[in-house]
Structure 1
Amino acid sequence: MRRRAALLATAALAPAAALGQVVASPGKGEFWFDPTQLPSFTGTVERYLPNPRGETDALIFREGPQIVFPPDIADAVRQAAPPGKPLVAWGIRARSAPVITMLAFAPSADAAPTVLDRFYWRLGGRQPLEHAAHLAVAGTVKQPYYTPQGEVAGAVLEDGTVVLVPQGAAEGAKDLLKAGAKLAAEGIGSEGEAGRALLASALGEAPGALKPLPR
Structure 2
Amino acid sequence: MSRNVLSAMALAAALVGSVAHAAPPGPARGELLPTPPPPAAPALAGQAVAQGTVQRMLINPYGEVDGLRLADGTVVKFAPHMGDALANAVKTGDTVRVIGRPEARGTVRADAIVNAANGQTVYDQPPPLGEGRPLPPHLRAQKLQQQQVQGKVDTVLTGPRGEANGVILTDGSIVRFPPESLRQSVQPGAPFAASGLGTRNADGTSLEAVSLGTSLSALQPLYDGAR
TM-score w.r.t. structure 1 length? 0.72
Q: Deviations over 1:113-161 (max 9, x none)?
A: 443326xxxxx99x97134211111111111122345321011011111
* TM-aligned CA distance change 1:49 to 1:26, over 3 Å: farther
* Equivalence map 1:126-141=2 (5 Å): 129-141=141-153
Contact 2:49 2:108 in 1 (8 A): no
Where in structure 2 are the equivalents of 1:36-75 lying within 5 Å?
A: 36-75=45-84
Superposition CA RMSD, Å? 2.8
Q: Give the structure 2 partner of residue 77 of structure 1.
A: 86
Aligned counterpart in structure 1 of residue 158 of structure 2, from 146, 150, 153: 146
- Out of 108, 111, 115, the residue aligned to residue 116 of structure 2 is 108
What amino acid is the match of 2:153?
V
Q: 2:197 aligns with which of 172, 181, 188?
A: 188
1:84-95 mapped onto 2 (5 Å cutoff): 84-94=93-103
Q: C-alpha separation between the residues in 1 aligned to 2:67 and 2:112?
A: 14
Say whether the 8 Å CA contact 2:101–2:109 is kept in structure 1: yes
The answer to whether the Cα contact below 8 Å between 2:196 and 2:211 also exists between their aligned partners in 1 is yes
Shift of residue 27 of structure 1? 5.0
Q: Distance in 2 between matches of 1:209 and 1:47?
A: 29
Residues paired across the two proteins, number: 177
Amino acid of the residue matched to residue 105 of structure 1? I
Change (3 A) 1:77 1:212: same
Q: Amino acid of the residue matched to residue 64 of structure 1?
A: G
Q: Which residues of structure 1 form unaligned runs of 5+?
A: 1-24, 119-123
Counterpart residue type for residue 205 of structure 2: R
The answer for unaligned runs of 5 or more in structure 2 is 1-37, 127-135
3-state SS, counterpart of residue 129 of structure 1: helix
Moved over 6 A (4+): none
Contact persistence 2:76–2:109 (CA under 8 A): yes
Higher relative contact order (CA 8 A, sep 6+): 1
Q: Distance in 1 between matches of 2:48 and 2:114?
A: 13
Shift in Å, 1:166: 2.8
CA deviation vs aligned residue, 1:46-65 (integer Å, no higher than 9, x gap): 00111111211011011111
The secondary structure found in structure 2 opposite 1:40 is strand
Match 2:125 to one of 117, 122, 129: 117
Relative to structure 1, the CA distance from residue 27 to residue 165 in structure 2 (aligned partners, 3 Å threshold; closer, same or farther) is same
The higher radius of gyration belongs to 2
Distance in 1, matches of 2:152 and 2:193, equals 9
